Structure 1
């Protein structure tokens, strides 16, 4: 752990520039989902408890370097006050006069939210001048936005080279969970990778087969691997042009001693709709006029046995068309098994990615997982073995 935590920082009386991700859904000027706001509460409260004055830096939407009134952070103030239980002031810019005046006026026990960092073109370009202007507002920098750590922006990477820096509580929790899952895991390690396309997760699969003991492949991706093995998948979603690539991944896994788990049986239907007439067949017996929409009971049983023989689990992506019943059955069953093993203390389970979180929530399994990452792109890039600029900057600092 080469980065510092809040416990190692003297914050008393200091202005603490705190990069957060509060890019939350807003309708009619009101926040409709406070999950990301709730996640930053421990960090902000700890800064206040240590006598620091938190000044929040955040982005919102994609204004592309221009001031877009509909993408102002101002409407988030009431939701922040409700979550934090303290007064939250707002500055109409994240640099310059408005920001300096608001920082100077910030009282003890109060929080300041600065306007959308992406209203400045230099934010996404990681402009040194913009980073310096933001950095001039504070005395300490805390990055609590792991979900934006894969981006080298002025507020996520640049400021870390200017001020003494540390990871916030959410960033700390994410990094510790990820280190436990892939950095120095207890073996055997199993990864579940699902979703529609192999092409979007090539780097991920290529990295995982050299790091894990078992790789469970589900969703449309599994169909592409079946095609690579000469299986006719009928009208199923599959990337036939990626068959050779799938073969290469299978060969790489074999050379690395990683067992690939593909479904031995599948649930097929003639139409993609809720409660469509369906049947379970062997994976190599999909009718030519049908499509594979889920893994079958034998496949789920094999996945359960794989989980039982594992100590660490990393999960990204559903096993089938989880959005509609009954094609959520395999995902729900596998999630429940992982949750039960975790609750029994037999498995360390880490999951992340938008569809993954939605699927595990739908299965009612999220609460029992060891850690559910709030990050999408950053979680994926970490699984791919890529360096995250926001994290690397903290380590260098």
Structure 2
């Protein structure tokens, strides 16, 4: 039983359905260059329209700072949306007001209309009750299918969910189900792999995870900060020496809660940060003073593989090395492919998210083989940090 209502709980026939979607997509020369987010929300839109709903789409685009900015109009997304849906999509150049009311009055069941950028109104980001009321006036039901915007308490994400009967769309439902299985009520043991450049951006994340997972693998640049906190010399590696106390605090919290911390024991080092730079593999106890750690070494990768073998659930955020540069992508690729193999074998539930993580899994060619890959960015990180997401809280039945 989910804690939120889904499309299974509603008959939209003849109803005006306000659907919050994420259409904040890259555009170049007046055309969408990556339609991943468009395709993600298409099933919800199609289902509601096929069941006779009058579908009104709400979305933001860019950062227009609460005023009208033609360069950030959602109109540019209409062709990609129509193509993904295989049906015509109307457009109204505002999200509230008389033009919207007139368009809604002329809708028939199955129609789909995209409304203009909600952020053209200053009340959107302020969650202004007046704007919420204006938006709600055009709907009978509200569906949120934008998990990526769920960490914001905006008029179109949180306010509307409290003003109208509210439901999770299929993309939101899939995301919440996957996240619930990964950390809410997971099959144990649970392993988390956290990488990336800096500890400073992931302190809350690490502090939450050590109390919730059985094994925490720390990689990437942030591992150097932990190694330095243990008294190891890391040469010219990226390292936040001023966070040594924080790193030691996280290690102590992990020990107290019985979470095993896995840090690299060997490293691939180079003198230059560039692809195919001359490199060598050394023990983390013997990093040359003039070198920088750019990837975890083969013994470290073997240790990560063994930990993945012993787990039933994996949560992954951040690469294990400078994966954008060959050959310093080796550890990330090897670990990702091993996790994918375990997932294929039915032995592991694997959930990953965050921009660099998605790029790394795509680079390794395994994103499609993970159980679930979240493209939500900030919302995924806040969820990993254990923070309540306003847009999700508002959907709870």
TM surpasses 0.5: yes
Instruction: Give matches, 1:246-265, under 5 Å.
Output: 246-265=247-266
Other-structure match for 1:63: 64
> Equivalents in 2 of 1:283, 1:54: separation in Å?
57
> Equivalents in 2 of 1:8, 1:385: separation in Å?
28
1:171-196 deviation digits (Å, cap 9, x = unpaired): 00000000000000000000000011
> Equivalents in 2 of 1:98, 1:62: separation in Å?
23
Per the alignment, in what secondary structure is the counterpart of residue 191 of structure 2?
strand
* Residues 90 and 102 in structure 1, CA contact (< 8 A), matched pair in contact too: no
The answer to whether structure 1 residue 137 and structure 2 residue 138 are counterparts is yes
- More displaced, 235-244 or 40-49? 40-49
Instruction: Give matches, 1:227-242, under 5 Å.
Output: 227-242=228-243
The answer to whether structure 1 residue 13 and structure 2 residue 14 are counterparts is yes
Other-structure match for 1:351: 352
* Residues 48 and 110 in structure 2, CA contact (< 8 A), matched pair in contact too: no
> Equivalents in 2 of 1:350, 1:307: separation in Å?
13
> Equivalents in 2 of 1:317, 1:20: separation in Å?
26
| Deviation (angstroms), 1:48 | 1.4
> Equivalents in 2 of 1:375, 1:106: separation in Å?
32
Other-structure match for 2:272: 271
> Equivalents in 1 of 2:107, 2:323: separation in Å?
48
> Equivalents in 1 of 2:357, 2:108: separation in Å?
41
* Residues 86 and 109 in structure 1, CA contact (< 8 A), matched pair in contact too: no
Other-structure match for 2:391: 390
| Deviation (angstroms), 1:202 | 0.5
* Residues 266 and 283 in structure 1, CA contact (< 8 A), matched pair in contact too: yes
> Equivalents in 2 of 1:150, 1:85: separation in Å?
31
* Residues 190 and 212 in structure 1, CA contact (< 8 A), matched pair in contact too: yes
| Deviation (angstroms), 1:77 | 0.5
* Residues 14 and 53 in structure 1, CA contact (< 8 A), matched pair in contact too: yes
> Equivalents in 2 of 1:289, 1:102: separation in Å?
66
Other-structure match for 2:92: 91
| Deviation (angstroms), 1:216 | 0.4
Per the alignment, in what secondary structure is the counterpart of residue 231 of structure 2?
coil
1:265-291 deviation digits (Å, cap 9, x = unpaired): 000000000100000000121100000
Other-structure match for 1:213: 214
Per the alignment, in what secondary structure is the counterpart of residue 55 of structure 1?
strand
Report how many aligned residue pairs link the two structures. 396
1:98-134 deviation digits (Å, cap 9, x = unpaired): 1111212223322100000000001000101101100
1:303-353 deviation digits (Å, cap 9, x = unpaired): 000000000000000000001100000000000000000000000000000
> Equivalents in 2 of 1:30, 1:104: separation in Å?
30
Other-structure match for 1:188: 189
Other-structure match for 2:108: 107
> Equivalents in 2 of 1:376, 1:284: separation in Å?
35
Other-structure match for 2:244: 243
TM-score with structure 1 length normalisation?
0.99
> Equivalents in 2 of 1:219, 1:387: separation in Å?
27
Per the alignment, in what secondary structure is the counterpart of residue 16 of structure 1?
strand
> Equivalents in 2 of 1:303, 1:2: separation in Å?
34
Per the alignment, in what secondary structure is the counterpart of residue 13 of structure 1?
coil
> Equivalents in 2 of 1:266, 1:104: separation in Å?
65
* Residues 275 and 325 in structure 1, CA contact (< 8 A), matched pair in contact too: yes
Other-structure match for 1:330: 331
Per the alignment, in what secondary structure is the counterpart of residue 48 of structure 2?
helix
Other-structure match for 1:23: 24
TM-score with structure 2 length normalisation?
0.99
